[in-house]
A and B are shown apart, each in its own frame.
Chain A
Amino acid sequence: MLESYIRDKQKQKDLLLMTHIVMGYPSFDDSHAMVKHMVAAGVDLMELQIPFSEPMADGPVILKANQKALEQGATVAKCLAFAKDMAAIYPIPFLFMTYANIPYRFGMAAFAKTTADIGLTGAIVPDLPMEEGAEYLQAMKKNQLSPIQMFSPGTSDARMAQIASIASGFIYCLARKGVTGAQTDLSDDLAQYLARCRKAASVPLAVGFGIKDRADMDFLAGRADIAVIGSETIRVMEKGGVAAVRDFIQGLSRSA
């Protein structure tokens, strides 16, 4: 169970760290090296993005990574094989991140079963809100997987309660409006919004979109359970190579 893993980990750390990679970018070998370095540096959970040609909610950094991965021949089958290897080698929970058309074309039931069979713990599908996700939610539940739900700053209290009622594992709280990778203003507004999230949901809260340095982590500690770093690791890798990611993550990791 993803939630019990998170609760357990929280005994050692006051804020867990989840990172994100686009599988096949810049290559599957590099993706593996990224996972290896991130795990060694103390990452607690990881999103493995299956690239999609139309990644609607992603900003320019991840958008480009999606396109490059596809240009270089990343397929769903290759991503599944890669994810299976990662889950077998490294002792942290891995989740798929992708867009609705990938599981839809694969078949929702088959996608959920495969996800469980290869040892992943859940999936994040940002363009599949609960109203459209009945088949997906059912298939994930059947396979004891967590279909990660989202809160945004504009989500009403009533809707938060509805979302919380189907949540499992954790809820991904978007720190602000917009796409991935842009600057987030860590402010009283964010603190109030996170307090609202906390009140609505009993599962752990992850916060992402624009989280990138130690100060962000310090702000989130005590207000959330998991910090999500996405675009920034890709930026670090593009600038300093795969090995630079390890130093970057080590600089962020916290203990309780």
Chain B
Amino acid sequence: MKHRGYYGGFGGAFLPEILIPTFDELVSVFESAKTDPGFRNQYETLMAQYSGRPTPLTFAANLTRHFDGAKIYIKREDLNHTGAHKANNVMGQGLLVKKMGKTRVIAETGAGQHGVACATMAAKFGFDCTIYMGEKDVMRQRPNVFWMEQLGATVVPVTDGTKILKDAINQAFRDWVTNMDTTHYVLGTACGPHPFPEMVAWFQSIIGIEARQQILDLEGRLPDRVYACVGGGSNALGLFAGFLDDPVELVGVEAGGKGIDTGFHAARLSSTDAGAGIAQGYKTYFLQDDDGQMKETHSISAGLDYVGVSPILAHMHETGTARFESATDAEVVDALKLTMRSEGIIPALESAHAFAGAFREAPTLSRDQIIIINQSGRGDKDIFTVADVLNDPEWKTFIQTKAAQYHA
């Protein structure tokens, strides 16, 4: 356990004694998997056959014309099985669960994409599955709750704290300390105690490794900038992993919510509102008050509405390896509308943050420059949120009619 999992001053494993043996086992299984080429092969074969990898790198000709700046490419993680990059992580962890001989998995989820991916993995591997989800997120993401349940998972709404992602994480840890002999906690992002940040980033690196090869095949050169949204940070780390040794600018876009100055946001690295702290088993930047109590966060997208951030990204922020920006809810909806109309692609609200960040900068670049946006997930799940924001009258009528049918 000693001094592992640090990225500069961030990371670590701040664990209650009860979990130490469980983490020792996990570290050991992951370390042996990581150095075993057979395991990576098994993982990549599974992702090719089950999840549809490699996902395409799509040239966005219309958006490129619209902004008249950099050439815009989109890495299509939305085309993964279950509709998001989350599949990369859960299938990898599923293989590790089999190696450990455990029979039950638990997970937390914000937007629901990780929950759906985890429930899918559990169904495929034959594990029992419980998903913790903040009560507020259950309300926001009902369609995903429906699918998790149909896939055989038990979804537990969490009514503690602020009733969102961080509270679901706490609840999952509580389950784990009780049931760790049979249960693995499939943490959904590159946060939490070591080895989770490294392990999740390692599984997600498949995104960037593919994207690098694809852009070389298509353009014969590397991109100038790559953009990804940042909640916990797993899709950003996945994309960035392909370009760490290249002269490529890495840009992470956080949730600016109602605006950085309003206090209603989830911008940990791109605002000055966050500070270093220790919670949920690791050290990173948290949105917290002077006493060290975590603050409420806000984002239109449940998946970015998180109080901490990957310790790997916190370190990249401090060392200037990556640049972090934010996009407001309003900018995100505009980016989403433009992408739908011009490309026939519906990004998730989370991913639309990366689009908003890229759209702000694309016109300032020249036509011979190239950018890649990571579309971490598809937007179908956000239909209720987006229809609300767009105040769509036809949709409202449909919902009213449907509700009336249920009452009949």
Q: A55 to B161: give the CA distance in the assembly, Å.
A: 10
CB-based contact B281/A127 at 8 Å: yes
| B180 within 8 Å of A (CB atoms) | yes
Q: Which of A99-127 contact B (CB under 8 A)?
A: 99-102, 104-106, 126-127
For the complex, give the distance between the alpha carbons of A60 and B181 in Å. 22
Contact of B17 among A99, A104, A155 (CB under 8 A): A155
Contact of B279 among A54, A59, A126 (CB under 8 A): A54
B278:A104 contact, CB within 8 angstroms: yes
Task: Judge if B357 is at the interface, Cβ distance under 8 Å.
Answer: no
Considering the chains assembled together, what is the distance between the CA atoms of A179 and B177 in angstroms?
7
In this assembly, does B14 line the interface, its C-beta being within 8 Å of a C-beta of chain A? yes
Task: Determine whether A151 belongs to the interface, using a CB cutoff of 8 Å to chain B.
Answer: yes
Binary interface encoding of chain B residues 279-311 relative to chain A, with 1 for a CB under 8 A from any of its CBs, else 0: 111000010101111100000000000000000
Contact: B21 with A156, CB < 8 Å? yes
Q: Is A154 engaged at the interface, CB distance under 8 Å to the other chain?
A: yes
Q: A53 interface residue, CB < 8 Å from B?
A: yes
Docked-complex contact A129 and B278, CB < 8 angstroms: no
**Contact string against B for A residues 125-143, beta-carbon threshold 8 Å, 1 for contact and 0 otherwise:** 0111101100000000000
Q: Which of B84-92, B145-153, B166-174 contacts A (4 or more CB under 8 A)?
A: B166-174
The answer for the CA separation of A53 and B20 in the assembled complex, in Å, is 23
* Interface membership of B116, Cβ < 8 A: no
- Whether A75 lies near B291 (C-beta < 8 A) is yes
- Best-buried of A126, A150, A154, A182 by chain B (most CB within 10 Å): A154
Closest chain-A Cβ to B405's Cβ sits at a distance in Å of 38
Contacts of A102 in B (CB 8 A): 291-292
Find out whether the CB atom of B14 lies under 8 angstroms from the CB atom of A53. no
> Of A56, A105, A150, A156, which is within 8 A of B173 by CB?
A56
> B390: CB under 8 A from chain A?
no
Q: Is the CB of A154 within 8 A of B292?
A: no
Contact of B280 with A174 in the complex, beta carbons under 8 Å: no
Of B13, B279, B291, the contact of A132 (CB 8 Å cutoff): B13
- Return the contact of A151 from the options B17, B290, B292 (Cβ within 8 A): B17
Nearest-CB distance from B9 to chain A (Å)? 12
In this complex, how many residues of chain B approach chain A with their Cβ under 8 Å: the count is: 37
Question: By the criterion CB–CB under 8 Å, are B293 and A70 in contact?
Answer: yes
Say how far B309's CB is from chain A's closest CB, in angstroms: 15
A127-B281, A177-B177, A178-B178 are contacts. A57–B16 as well, Cβ < 8 Å?
yes
Q: Quick check: is B277 within 8 A (CB to CB) of the other chain?
A: yes
Scan A145-177; emit 1 where CB is below 8 A from any B CB, else 0.
Answer: 000001110111001000100000000001001
Interface contact A127-B16, CB-CB below 8 Å: yes
Q: Establish whether residues A126 and B166, one from each chain, have CB atoms under 8 Å apart when the complex forms.
A: no
1/0 per residue, CB under 8 A from B, across A41-72: the answer is 00000000000111111011001100100100
B407 at the interface (CB under 8 A from A): no
Question: Would you call A76 an interface residue if the criterion is a C-beta within 8 Å of the partner chain's C-beta atoms?
Answer: yes
B293 to chain A: closest residue by CB: A53
Number of A-B contacts (CB under 8 A): 110
**B2 nearest CB neighbor, chain A only:** A131
State the CA gap A127–B17 with chains docked (Å): 8
Q: Among the listed B2, B166, B275, which residue makes an inter-chain contact with A54, where contact means beta carbons less than 8 Å apart?
A: B166
B148-163 CB contacts (< 8 Å) to partner A: 160-161
Compute how far the CA of A102 lies from the CA of B294 in the bound complex, rounded to whole angstroms.
11
The total of chain A residues at the interface (CB under 8 A) is 40
| Shortest Cβ gap from B164 to chain A (Å) | 13
Most B Cβ at <10 Å: residue of A132, A155, A156 = A132
Cα A53 to Cα B277 with chains together (Å): 13
Neighbour of A155 across the interface among B20, B170, B275, B291, CB < 8 A: B20
A residues near B179, Cβ cutoff 8 Å: 177
A236 to chain B, nearest CB (A): 22
Separation of A103 and B362 alpha carbons in the complex (Å) = 45
A54 touches B15 (CB 8 A): no
Question: In whole angstroms, what is the CA distance A106 to B12 when docked?
Answer: 19
Cβ of B20: which chain A residues have Cβ within 8 Å of it? Answer: 129, 152, 154-155, 159
Does B291 lie within 8 Å of A76, measured CB to CB? yes
Instruction: Give CA–CA (A73, B161) in the complex, Å.
Output: 15
Most central of B280, B286, B291, B294 by chain A CB within 10 Å: B291
A142 to chain B, nearest CB (A): 21
With contacts A53-B293, A54-B279 taken as known, whether A127 is within 8 angstroms of B15 at the C-beta atoms is yes
A105–B278 Cα distance when bound, in Å, is 9
Kindly list the 9 A-B residue pairs having the minimum CB-CB distance in the complex, ordered from nearest. Answer: A105-B292, A178-B178, A150-B17, A101-B292, A154-B21, A152-B18, A100-B278, A53-B293, A53-B294
Name 19 interchain pairs, CB-CB below 8 A, sorted by A.
Answer: A54-B280, A56-B174, A60-B160, A63-B160, A67-B161, A70-B293, A100-B14, A101-B277, A101-B292, A126-B17, A129-B1, A131-B2, A131-B3, A132-B14, A151-B17, A152-B16, A174-B18, A177-B18, A177-B180
> With A105-B275, A129-B20, A178-B18 given, can you name 15 additional A-B contacts, CB distance below 8 Å?
A52-B292, A53-B293, A56-B280, A56-B281, A57-B16, A57-B18, A57-B177, A101-B292, A105-B290, A126-B17, A129-B13, A152-B17, A156-B21, A179-B174, A179-B177
Q: Which residues does B use to contact A, with CB under 8 Å? A: 1-3, 12-18, 20-22, 160-161, 166, 170, 173-174, 177-181, 275, 277-281, 286, 288, 290-294
